[in-house]
Structure formats: structure tokens, C-alpha cells
Amino acid sequence: MEILVTGANGFLGKSIVNELSEGNIISSLSRTSKDYKVSLDIKSPNFLQKFDLVIHAAGKAHSIPKNAVDKKEFFDVNVTGTLNLLKGLEKVGVPDQFVFVSSVSVYGRESGININEEHVLQAADAYGLSKIEAEVLVMEWCKKHNVVCTILRLPLLVGENPPGNLGIMIKAIDKGYYFNIGGGKARKSMVLLQDVAEFIPKVAAFGGIYNLTDSFHPNFLELSSVISKQKNKKIPFDLPLIVAKVLGFVGDLLGSNAPINSNKIKKIISDLTFDDTKARKQLEWNPHPVLEYLKNNSLVH
């Protein structure tokens, strides 16, 4: 297949390219290098060929906007960038299949158990809203051009040298300043990069909207314990919940510059898991448990 992967230098994009390279002709697009060096938020690419499958993994994430400019950047990259990609594809002929990498952030939930694809999209933050808008854009475009459309709503991604919250946790454990709160019992959904990459060719031919998780949803204690053992560190200290709530209250009083507040504490101690039953039943999604992967693989190289 002629496959285009956007965001090819990104955390997920690299894994997709590595996984699909054998037996396919891969063209890569990113801001910095690869076959097409393009900033999609600025301009539409000029492709040299038509593609059978396009995997749109480029996007902005892993940051909290501090002002209106930061918020606008989410829409510039995730919405305008997607629009410019679609315009570029129209010039050379639309693909047969299109996969858009979205996020469970579209649900707008800070807590909940086994949230499925039928849940209302109620994101209120810039990232979640930009992903919702991009999803709609892609689905309407695919319907108009008779392209098989797939939307993958992903939780925390796990793999080598992870960005975001998992990367922060690993660094904190390594430096000895990570701690759990209230026993670290809150469960969070996550999924392995490799499982997502391997699944894409199968789901791309079928289409639809899917949550993908490892179906186990580790809690903070399980996750931090495995990482600590992997790095030969002590099991992290546990901060009693009452102490954490007091610190959160103090943070509320200090304002936006405080490193912790009541809302952040609430997020940390709340379960937030997503249901991948649809992918399992319709397409035999059978992921590897994240904890087993972590026991046998170092995340930092």
C-alpha cells in the first residue's frame, strides 16, 4: 500500500512508520524532516502521489495553555492543520482509507469508569475542543469523498521515552521525588504504542470510531511500583489523602502559580477509564497489558 503518515517524527508516528514499513511504501510528513517537510498549520502540502491509506497522527498535545495565544495554537495545529492536509490530498486524489488519531479528551471527563464511544462529547478545554472539531471535519470530508473513515480515541500512550504525564512520572521516580496519594488506587486507561500501530491496518479497512486501551487500566500504585522496580528505586512514598486535600486547599488560596490545587488532587485520586469493547468485538482488538510490558522493558533509553 501507498501510505502517508503525518506526525511521523512524533511519539506515535515513529511507531506507526516502524510497524508498517515492511511490505508497504511509506511516505512521511512532519514539521522538521521526512519525505514532506510541512507545517500543516501554515500551509497545505503539495503531494507527489495519491495514497491508499492516510494516517493523520500529527497534532498538538502534552501542554496546558496559559493564555489565548496558547489556546489558539491547539486549533491552528489540530483543526487548520487537518483542513490543510485534506486540501492537499484532494489535489492528488483522495485516499481509499483515512485514519485520524484523536483522544479520549473529547469526552471532557475528569472521572468515570468504562466510558464508551456513545458518550456525549463534552470537552471544554482547548485541546479536547480542537480534537472534536477535527473529528467532525474528517468525518464530513470522508463521507463527501466516499473514503473509509476511522477515528481512534486514545488514552495515555506507553512506549519508549514517553512524553506527557508518564514521562513526568518516570523522571520523578528516577529523581526520588514522586509520591502517590491516598494509596494510589485511582485507575487510568492507557495503551501501548505498538498495539495501536499494529491495529491500524486492520481497522483502517473497516472504519468507525474506537476507544483503544489495554483493558486493564493500571492504578498509580501498580504503575509506579513497576517503574520503580525497573529502575531499582524504592517504592514511592504514599501521601495520606487528608494531607493532600490540605495542600490542595492551600494551593487554591495561592492561586494559579501554585503547583497543586484541589482540582488537581481530585483528578489524581479519581478513576478515569474507557471502554474498548467495541474494538474487541468488531475487530478482535487484543492488546498487551501495559504493566507486563513495563516489567520487561525500560521506558527510557
What is the per-residue pLDDT for 300? 66
| Residue-averaged pLDDT of the chain | 94
Share of the chain above pLDDT 90, in %: 85
CB atoms within 10 A of CB 169: 18
pLDDT at 63 over 90: no
What is the per-residue pLDDT for 142? 98
What is the per-residue pLDDT for 250? 92
Q: How far apart (Å, rounded) are the C-alpha atoms in residues 287 and 267?
A: 26
Of 14-23, 199-208, 290-299, which gets the smallest average pLDDT? 290-299
What is the per-residue pLDDT for 263? 87
pLDDT at 301 over 60: no
What is the per-residue pLDDT for 259? 77
Which of the four pLDDT bands, split at 50, 70 and 90, describes residue 269? Answer: very high
pLDDT one-digit tens code per residue, 21-34 = 999 999 999 998 77
What is the per-residue pLDDT for 55? 98
pLDDT at 68 over 90: no
Name the DSSP letter for residue 181. E
For residues 109-123, average pLDDT: 97
Question: Is the Cα torsion angle 121, 138, 279, 10 positive or negative in sign?
Answer: negative
Which of the four pLDDT bands, split at 50, 70 and 90, describes residue 123? Answer: very high
Helix (H, G, I), strand (E, B) or coil at 218: coil
For residues 41-65, average pLDDT: 92
pLDDT one-digit tens code per residue, 168-225 = 999 999 999 999 999 999 999 999 999 999 999 999 999 999 999 999 999 999 999 9
Domain ranges of the chain: 2-160+190-215+273-288
Q: How far apart (Å, rounded) are the C-alpha atoms in residues 267 and 263?
A: 6
What is the per-residue pLDDT for 46? 96
What is the per-residue pLDDT for 299? 74
User: Which homologous superfamily does the CATH classification assign to the domain defined by 2-160+190-215+273-288?
Assistant: NAD(P)-binding Rossmann-like Domain (3.40.50.720)
* pTM score: 0.94
What is the per-residue pLDDT for 278? 98
Q: How far apart (Å, rounded) are the C-alpha atoms in residues 184 and 187?
A: 8
- In DSSP terms, 3 is beta-bridged to 26, 53
For residues 275-298, average pLDDT: 94
* Pairing verdict, β 272-274 and 112-115: parallel
Q: Which residues contact 162 (CB under 8 A, 6 or more apart)?
A: 11, 170, 299
